[in-house]
Amino acid sequence: MKKLIRASLILASMALMLASCSLFGGSAPTEAAVQATPVLATTTIELTVQTDATGLTAVNQVIKYTYTVKNTGASAVAGPVTVTGATCPEVNTIGNTDTSFDAGESLVCASEYTVTQGDLDKGSVTNISTATVSGISSNPVTTTISKAAPAVLNLTKTANPVNYDQLGQAITYTYVILNSGTTALGPAQFTVTDAGIPAPINCGDAAASIAPAATLTCTATYTITQADMDAGSVATSATATGGGAATSPAASATVTKGAAAVVTPSSGSTLTAGSTIQHKVVKGEWLWQIARCYGADPEKTLLANPQLTDPGFISPDTTVSVPNIGSAGKIYGTPCVGTHTVQTGDTWNSIALTYNADPFILQMVNLNDLTIGRVLTVPLNSAGTTAVVK
């Protein structure tokens, strides 16, 4: 009887277990079934785009794009990284050099685009880019580059002095190039072409830049010819180019034959014969040449400046007195000293004639060195004066 009762209890227990299995889907739960299912962390891809172009300027202009792709999520994803139309490095070249694009890692891609005439006609170039990593895409980024406003150069030209009365007299032309556009011009070599000057004039150095509303200034020397003496006036026009801008409108200055008792130097003041002036020294000047510049007696100019320890070497920005201007020669005004780069075929006499300089003074000041390419110091308008260098 006891065995029968025990068997009945076992059968009842088994029936209860089968009933439970039937109630919950049929089979008994296993260890794997009760483990928690992992939840993947969210992965997001961020794309930023930069370009080196501020505007469309010409056909065949090359625009360079740089794309920075960043995993801004919390988990790594398998490479590679791709960007529409760009070239990207492998992910094992960044970060920890594994094959996964890890959280926080960034990768830089690049592309180039060559501007066409159609782009210029349209007025803009638009680039739409999307980064993709392991099927996950960034938001598309649109980059538009519009046609740049035309670069504009303006040129003014002035002459000093504005009168001449002798063959070989030097006239200094001053050219001021203005960037009247809205974007910076350069770095580039800006050039002035003047019908009265044999060769183009380099204005500034080869890497000069002109900001909007800024200027660049240069000078050139014109020598009065017999034809000018016969004509009674000189009027030549000049234009400026450089920095990708169109050629400037022409600018001119007129110089008239006639006595010039009053001269307007670069300082803007007037010079009257017989007066005493105060001259601010610039680099390269010496006292005797300053006196010649104003038609003054060099010895009396020396006596008027006892403060100078060496009149042959005066520091720039020093102020010297020049008495009784015009008493020993013609008043020319500044600049008193110029420069000349030696060219093939130049001689001391040919250079002196170009700048109305005394060839002996020119030669002495430059230590008799006429090497091609050398920049000479030129004592402007020293011809016909006492040949004293000191």
pLDDT in tens, 273-325: 888 889 999 888 999 999 998 989 999 999 999 998 888 889 888 999 999 89
Q: Whole domain around residue 105: which residue ranges?
A: 45-146
CATH, residue 103: 2.60.40
- Are both 203 and 274 inside the same structural domain? no
pTM score: 0.39
197-245 pLDDT, tens digit per residue, is 999 999 988 889 998 888 898 999 999 999 999 999 999 999 999 988 8
- Are both 126 and 179 inside the same structural domain? no
Give dist(CA 102, CA 371) in Å, integer: 65
Average model confidence (pLDDT) across the chain: 83
Q: Which two tokens stand for residue 312?
A: 């042959």
Residue 304 lies in a domain: yes
Give dist(CA 90, CA 105) in Å, integer: 13
List of long-range contacts for 248-252, beta carbons under 8 Å, 24+ apart? 248/153, 248/154, 248/155, 248/177, 249/154, 249/155, 250/155, 251/155, 251/156, 251/157, 251/175, 252/157
- Are both 180 and 273 inside the same structural domain? no
- Are both 294 and 271 inside the same structural domain? yes
Q: Is 229 in a helix, a strand, or coil?
A: helix
- Are both 306 and 367 inside the same structural domain? yes
21-35 pLDDT, tens digit per residue, is 444 444 444 433 333
Residue 241 lies in a domain: yes
CATH, residue 268: 3.10.350.10
135-166 pLDDT, tens digit per residue, is 999 999 999 999 877 778 999 998 888 888 88
Residue 12 lies in a domain: no
Give dist(CA 280, CA 317) in Å, integer: 5
pLDDT of residue 270: 64
235-247 pLDDT, tens digit per residue, is 999 999 998 888 9
- Are both 254 and 335 inside the same structural domain? no
Buried/exposed code over 141-150 (b: 16+ C-beta within 10 A; e: otherwise): bebebebbee
- Based on the structure, what is the number of domains in the chain? 3
Q: Characterise 274 by phi-psi region: left (phi > 0), alpha (psi -120 to 50), beta (else).
A: left
Domain boundary among 215, 231, 258: 258
Domain boundary among 214, 232, 258: 258
Domain boundary among 243, 258, 273: 258
- Are both 232 and 334 inside the same structural domain? no
- Are both 74 and 114 inside the same structural domain? yes
Residue 25 lies in a domain: no
Give dist(CA 195, CA 381) in Å, integer: 22
- Are both 245 and 283 inside the same structural domain? no
CATH, residue 217: 2.60.40.10
Phi, psi values for residue 157, rounded to 5°: -135, 130
- Are both 99 and 58 inside the same structural domain? yes
- Are both 340 and 372 inside the same structural domain? yes
- Are both 221 and 303 inside the same structural domain? no
